[in-house]
Structure 1
Amino acid sequence: MIPTRAADVVVVGAGAAGLHAAVQAADGGASVLLLDADVRPGGQYHRQLPVEFGAVRPERAHHEQPAAADLIARLARHRRVTQRQQVTVWAAEPRVGGGALLHLADVSSGRAVNAGVIAAPRVVLATGAYDRTLPFPGSELPGVYTPGAARALLQGARIVPGRRVLVAGTGPFLLPVAAGLIEAGARLAGVLEANHTRGWVRRPRAMALAPEKVAEAARYTATLTRHRTRVRAGRAVVAVEGDGRVQTATVAKLKPDWTIVPGSEKTIETDAVVVGYGFVPQLELALALGCDTEPGPDGSPVVAVDDAQLTSRPGVYAAGELTGVGGAVLAAAEGALAGLATALDLGTLGERGHAARASAWQGARARYRRFADALAAVYPVPDGWQSWLADDTVVCRCERVRYGALRDAVESGATALGTVCAATGCGQGRCQGRSCGTAVAGLTATLSGVDGPAELPDPLALSVRPVDTPIPLGELADDPDRPE
């Protein structure tokens, strides 16, 4: 049963940021409630195998898993930490005096069950990010996966998405996904990086900021090389075809602006395509609480925080990808600093103790924020992908809205993102715009003739949600905290 009275600190999300926030806050003397929607803690990067697998050495599933396993075990033993898995926050509202009121749902049964409201005097939002997807002809076919989904299947269930898999998109996350698929027994039809990664050659100082990440990339590349697979830069999947599911993919060389080099298209046989273009911060709860945003390294909105990871709302801290996508090490540093800040605010950790514990984490944060800036510069997502679309290309998979309908809506005068979505149905399905929102905003901006989604009248329209997680109306009516 979820406690109705919250702890000193409530941490939402048990990925790298949330785990470190919880342990540092608890070590600093605060009582901590850690909430996470997954079956086991760890998030995407430290995803654990199901207990039912009976793995003898589960820490070998990932090169950083031993350290994560130690951290997770430490939290489980900590007397000041209460963990609740398979619990999600379906709505949040500012709390008088600071912090938040969090509306909880238990999802352990496979459906959201209202689990009441808790008052969190201090809350650390560590909600992470989700895959950035771009539509292309056939992208709605079964057999098209995001890298995050493919990795979740692989790490969480040891399932590969197909027998012959094509990995494509942009960003360093493609490497561990491709290497993991090979090690799990899949045959790769290819690994395509849309950008030309020679951008790193011009940034040796950025590479020096994160030597462990360079070494990690080298390990993944070595795995690909051993299996006679190399990353082909400046190429992308621009269409897929198949009868009921993916059977072939059209790949093409790209110009720097991501328009297709004429005559470069080639067809590849494959039964699964794993394609993604980086990540988008999960802002919904932060926006519901009124937290200010600012442009991130790639121009996308992120939650604005100060040196203590405190947002513009009193008692509300944010850490990890929702403050700017930068990877697990940066997320861990930000989470640790947020946790320490909550203990300092509570008064259980003094100024001297805080300074001593925070120093190393502050250095790591500064280093990896600079590295994240370099990542954004090396792996941009220019607007040329929009030229891949045809009128019948599905841009919103949930509601099966096609590009032609979106264009017609804009040409009819719907130039605000919210108006376009109301007119077409984009973002009104199960995913609530998480899958299509970034692409729809980009398309709306281009068709409206403005310089990017940030120039739209309502650029965050698809992220402002009074209900963050779908929950049955009957559960809202049946309030467990209502007096009899």
Structure 2
Amino acid sequence: MTIVVIGAGPAGLAAARSALRAGADVTLLDSSDQLGGQFWRHLPDAAHAAKQRVLHHGWSTFEALASEVTQHPSCTLVQNAQVWLIEQRDDGAPRVHAHVGPVDSVGRTALTLEPEALILATGAHDRTLPFPGWTLPGVYTAGAAQALAKSERIALGSRAIVAGAGPFLLPVAQSLALTGARVLGVYEATTTAALMRGWGAKPWQLGAAVGKMPELAGYVAGHVRHGIPYFTGRAVIEAHGTDRVEAATVARVDASWSPIAGTETTIETDAVCVSHGFTPRLELAIAAGCSITAERFVEVDVRQQTSIRGVYAAGELTGIAGADAALAEGSIAGHFAARGPRSAEISRAARARDRFVSFGDRLDAVHAPRPGWTSWLRDDTTVCRCEEVTSGELASIQSQTASCGLRSLKLSTRAGLGICQGRICGRSVEELLGGTFADGVATDRRPIVSPVRIGDLANASVELPTEETSHQKKH
């Protein structure tokens, strides 16, 4: 049994280990030169860090996974591998195309794999809602701030603000403090009342939260030790500066995240780290033909199999529920992709998955962005950074063209057509333009997943799907 796993974060590593234990030959592909994904992004070996675990939750779990996977004789590890296309073969099985080598380098090695089963564990990236001044140097996604703190021991500023929504803000602030930055405050947009309603309702359903209490206690202790204040019902609504950020305006917000007039406070800062949740990386799943739920995640069954036979998904592709859920889902996906028999270990993983997925659903219900965020914007606020499209331009062109299709709106506004292909602005653009579109197009549909040099593309003997053929294959 040959299996390809794409992604070497918690879900991908757990999937590879589980498949190897079930007797499969596994090829593990990852775009980084280090294992661990975004969750276990760590210092390079040359740094000789004696206490990596201080910066990483569950570091011993990572060490055990990485050791078993990399030392297994049936595992082939391919790092610096950019998967740019998945095709469906005549028999319906997937064909994976990748380039191996440093990103955007010349002469990367082309790699084509035709496994019997495919496990997608491509994770998610930060979602940051736009606000005036968010394009200034010194305004970062919270994920980028944490990644630099973990992997380079770099503090992005001496006086930092962490803002947005969700518990991810807590470890980000702690990572910054451990790197030497003074964190002026953590600003959670969800109000205290909403937090109490969301987390206090039906407490018997929060079994997964009990296991996370020590982790939460560690973050609270770290915040107390470093003197980091925590505020609820507040949001950064504007960043100020010329060549870089020099200050930020924080305001109280109501339950819908609309700023409350008269509550604005301007704080001097040289780093603003913002995260309003995560967006799953769906491109490869869509290219493989997998069905996507109404909530924009990959649809899977109890075995983590997608709507396409032989294609499995695990981790944040199926829902944002944290590393524990990703580990459980990866174990299940790897086991069943390798056609392993039902076992007590997998039954335990299934129960853990169900608990943590329920926790993730509660997380989304409490901390998901509320529609009032659009009132932060002014007409001159940039929404699409790549093409420098403003909120006012989006509204004006939509009104002038009376268009109800996302494809035509993207072409007429240029929003989402820059180098990031809508990864940063896509969801925000969709919400600003109305949220649903007559043509059924979504910004997650990118047949070519990562940038490819024309020379490499010319040498690739593949039939590239268009958006239309990719959509047809899905159904």
TM-score in terms of structure 1 length: 0.91
**Structure 1 position 417, deviation (Å):** 1.9
Tell me how far apart the structure 1 counterparts of residues 303 and 378 of structure 2 sit (CA, whole Å).
47
| CA RMSD in angstroms, aligned pairs only | 1.7
1:442 — aligned with what?
431
Give the deviation of 1:365 after TM superposition: 0.7
Task: Confirm whether residue 325 of structure 1 aligns to residue 320 of structure 2.
Answer: yes
Partner of 2:132: 137
Q: Following the alignment from structure 2 to structure 1, what is the Cα–Cα distance between the partners of residues 287 and 439?
A: 15
Q: Judge which range, 76-85 or 215-224, deviates more.
A: 215-224
2:380 is paired with a residue whose SS is: coil
Long gaps (5+) in structure 1: 1-6, 446-452
Q: Secondary structure at the match of 1:321?
A: helix
Tell me the alpha carbon deviations over residues 38-67 of structure 1, each in whole angstroms, 9 at most, x when there is no partner. Answer: 110101111121122122343443131122
Distance 1:441 1:273 in 2: 25
Query: For residues 7-46 of structure 1, what are the alpha-carbon distances to aligned partners after superposition, in whole Å with 9 as ceiling and x for unaligned?
Result: 7000000011100000000110000000000110101111
- CA distance in structure 2 between the partners assigned to 1:139 and 1:130 by the alignment: 17
Q: Does 1:433 align with 2:428?
A: no
2:345 is paired with a residue whose SS is: helix
Contact 2:131–2:376 (8 Å) recurs in 1 = yes
Question: Which segment drifts farther, 252-261 or 403-412?
Answer: 403-412
Match for 2:348: what amino acid? A
What is the identity, as a one-letter code, of the residue corresponding to 1:468? V
SS in 2 for 1:294: coil
Q: What's 1:46 paired with?
A: 40
Cα distance, 1:458 vs. partner? 4.5
- Could you tell me which residue of structure 1 aligns to residue 384 of structure 2? 396
Q: Deviations over 1:190-212 (max 9, x none)?
A: 11000023232335234433222
1:291-335 per-residue CA deviation (whole Å, 9 max, x = no partner) reads: 11113xxxx311101111111111111111011111101011111
Counterpart of 1:268 in structure 2 is: 267
Q: State the alpha-carbon separation in 2 of the partners of residues 54 and 128 from structure 1.
A: 28
Contact between 1:207 and 1:214, CA under 8 Å: does it hold in 2? no
Paired AA for residue 93 in structure 2: G
Do the aligned residues in 1 keep the contact of 2:380 with 2:391 (CA within 8 Å)?
A: yes
Taking the TM superposition and a 5 Å limit, the aligned residue runs for 1:76-475 are: 76-108=70-102, 110-111=104-105, 113=108, 115-196=110-191, 197-198=195-196, 199-295=198-294, 300-344=295-339, 349=340, 351=341, 354-412=342-400, 413-445=402-434, 453=435, 455-458=436-439, 460-475=441-456
- Give the superposition deviation at 1:169: 0.1
Q: Which residue of the partner structure matches residue 4 of structure 1? A: none
The answer on whether the counterparts of 2:43 and 2:152 sit within 8 Å (CA) in structure 1 is yes
Q: CA deviation digits over 1:217-244, x for unaligned, max 9?
A: 2211121122222210000000001011
AA partner of residue 272 (structure 2): V
The answer on whether the counterparts of 1:98 and 1:122 sit within 8 Å (CA) in structure 2 is: no
Cα distance in 2 for partners of 1:437, 1:219 equals 35
Partner Cα distance (1:204, 1:179) in 2: 27
Mapped partners of 1:203, 1:234: distance in 2: 23
| Inter-partner Cα distance in structure 2 for 1:83 and 1:429 | 32
Give the conservation status (yes or no) of the 8 Å contact 1:116–1:480.
Answer: no
Q: Which amino acid aligns with 2:409?
A: V
Change (3 A) 1:332 1:98: farther
Q: Distance in 2 between matches of 1:382 and 1:57?
A: 39
Q: 1:203 to 1:170 in 2, by over 3 A?
A: farther
What amino acid is the match of 2:112?
A: V
Q: 1:468 to 1:73 in 2, by over 3 A?
A: same
SS at match of 1:338: helix
Q: Which residue type is aligned with residue 166 of structure 1?
A: I
Following the alignment from structure 2 to structure 1, what is the Cα–Cα distance between the partners of residues 361 and 149? 29
Identify which of 10, 23, 31 aligns with 2:17. 23
The answer to whether the 8 Å contact 1:441/1:459 transfers is: no
- What is the CA–CA distance in structure 2 between the aligned matches of 1:286 and 1:328, rounded to whole Å? 20
Moved over 6 A (4+): none
Q: Aligned with 2:224: secondary structure?
A: helix
Matched letter for residue 65 of structure 2: L
Q: Alignment partner of 1:275: what SS? A: strand
Deviations 1:49-96 (A, max 9, x none): 112212234344313112211110111111111111110101111123
In structure 2, what residue type is equivalent to 1:326?
A
Identity of aligned residues (%): 43
- Alignment partner, residue 58 of structure 2: 64
Contact 2:277 2:368 in 1 (8 A): no
Q: SS of the counterpart of 1:115?
A: strand
Distance 1:165 1:110 in 2: 32
SS in 1 for 2:95: strand
Paired residues of 1:114 and 1:480 also in contact (CA < 8 A): no
Kindly indicate whether the alpha-carbon contact (under 8 Å) linking 1:98 and 1:121 is maintained by their aligned counterparts in 2.
no
SS of structure 1 residue aligned to 2:49: coil
Tell me, what secondary structure is at the counterpart of 1:260? coil
2:87 counterpart letter in structure 1: E
2-structure distance, mates of 1:246, 1:229: 21
Structure-2-length-normalised TM-score: 0.93
| 2:55/2:175 contact within 8 Å kept | no
Name which of 445, 448, 459 aligns with 1:478.
Answer: 459
